[in-house]
Amino acid sequence: MLSDKLQEALNEQVKLEGDSSQIYLAMASWAELQGFEGIATFMFAQSDEERQHMLKLVKYINQRGGEAVIPAVTKPELDHSSFKTLFEQLFNHEVFVSKSINELVHIALEERDYATHNFLQWYVSEQIEEEATARTILDKINLIGDDKGGLYLFDNDIKGFNQQGANNTAI
């Protein structure tokens, strides 16, 4: 059985994961409108992944005797001035999500809820991967600079980034 404090914190994470899905979806739509087919494909896939993270939390809360609260959709406020700015926002958001997950782990330990602590370890690992992916992409964008040819190649290569992961991609 989940404590009230932990249930509330997990439900806050449900909202954060849902917001993350919306942020990626907004980024995907912007990229698609700008003609960045590869970036759009990457962002649409990330949006789906974040929604799955949210659903995993919802199911866990309900399975543990809690009540998952499905949050309202929040419209993302993003700076669309460049694809580099977009990915900087993505990286900063992933760092924020990691801090939130770490706080959840802390609460689980305070509440001596070792089942939830164990459940959250998947999210801890996932966030390491998410931050690494965003950092790797930003490094590539910084290498490209203002080179339009490099941007074209980057946009083409990023399509397969979701399947290959940060450590195995050709980007």
Predicted pLDDT at 166: 41
pTM: 0.90
3-state DSSP assignment of residue 112: coil
Q: Answer yes or no: is 170 within a domain.
A: no
Domain containing 37: what range?
A: 4-70+79-164
Q: Answer yes or no: is 171 within a domain.
A: no
Q: Answer yes or no: is 140 within a domain.
A: yes
Q: Answer yes or no: is 142 within a domain.
A: yes
Annotated binding site: 17, 50, 53, 94, 127
Closest by CA to 134, choosing from 48, 46, 55, 54, is 46
Tokens of 33: 């409108």
In contact, 1 and 65? CB cutoff 8 Å: yes
Q: Per-residue pLDDT tens, the chain, 171 aa: give them.
A: 999 999 999 999 999 999 999 999 999 999 999 999 999 999 999 999 999 999 999 999 999 999 999 999 899 999 988 888 989 999 999 999 999 999 999 999 999 999 999 999 999 999 999 999 999 999 999 999 888 888 889 998 898 776 544 433 333
Between CA 8 and CA 11 the distance in angstroms is: 5
Annotated binding site for Fe cation: 17, 50, 53, 94, 127
Number of domains the chain is built from: 1
Between CA 149 and CA 4 the distance in angstroms is: 54
Query: Domain containing 51 — which CATH number?
Result: 1.20.1260.10
Predicted pLDDT at 162: 62
Q: Answer yes or no: is 148 within a domain.
A: yes
Predicted pLDDT at 130: 94
Predicted pLDDT at 163: 53
Q: Answer yes or no: is 28 within a domain.
A: yes
